[in-house]
Amino acid sequence: MHPTAGCSSERQRECGASLVEFALLVPVLFFVMFAIIELGVMFWVNLTMQHAVREGVRYAVTGQSDLDPDTKNRQRYRAVIQKVKDSSMGLYERVDPAISLNHGTPMRDPARFSPGMFGGPGDIMVLQLDCNWPIVTPLLQPFFTDGKYHFSVAATMRNEEFR
């Protein structure tokens, strides 16, 4: 059916103008809608990773290591990273975090972590993740470095008196 069917001959111009206006506005409305959704997802990812870091630090201050996937040689640092992964709702690998402890050099390779890196009883611990979230909406990508949303999340706590 023709888009102007149902319009009288004198109103066909107005119907055609309305159709052109609609065609011009729809891309703008979709861009705004997808940009709002993308920004909402970015804030959700940030809050989820903040929660994961806080849960990891809460676990770390107890001195436990039972979450370490290596059951033969349990290490506290691997258990803390596992707790962060478990609390991140599957976002840990997507954000490709660089982990720094007590304002140290950020590291992306967990093999470089040391067994004593989370300190001993009574030590203050600052765990920070530097994350990158890829921007999906093409028109938003130029507003972010490398087309990614770079953010950091951190949590600070004092280790409990553990054995």
Residue whose tokens read 């059951």 = 71
pLDDT at 17: 79
Q: What is the pLDDT of residue 5?
A: 60
The residue behind tokens 């309305």 is 18
**pLDDT tens string 1-38:** 555 565 566 676 777 778 888 889 999 999 899 999 99
What digits encode the pLDDT tens for the residues 121-160?
888 889 999 999 999 988 889 999 999 999 999 999 998 8
Helical axes 76-87 vs 12-60, angle rounded to 10° = 150
The model carries a pTM of: 0.80
Q: Report the mean per-residue pLDDT for the chain.
A: 86
Helix or strand (DSSP H, E) at 101: strand 98-101
| Residue with the larger pLDDT of the pair 101 and 153 | 153
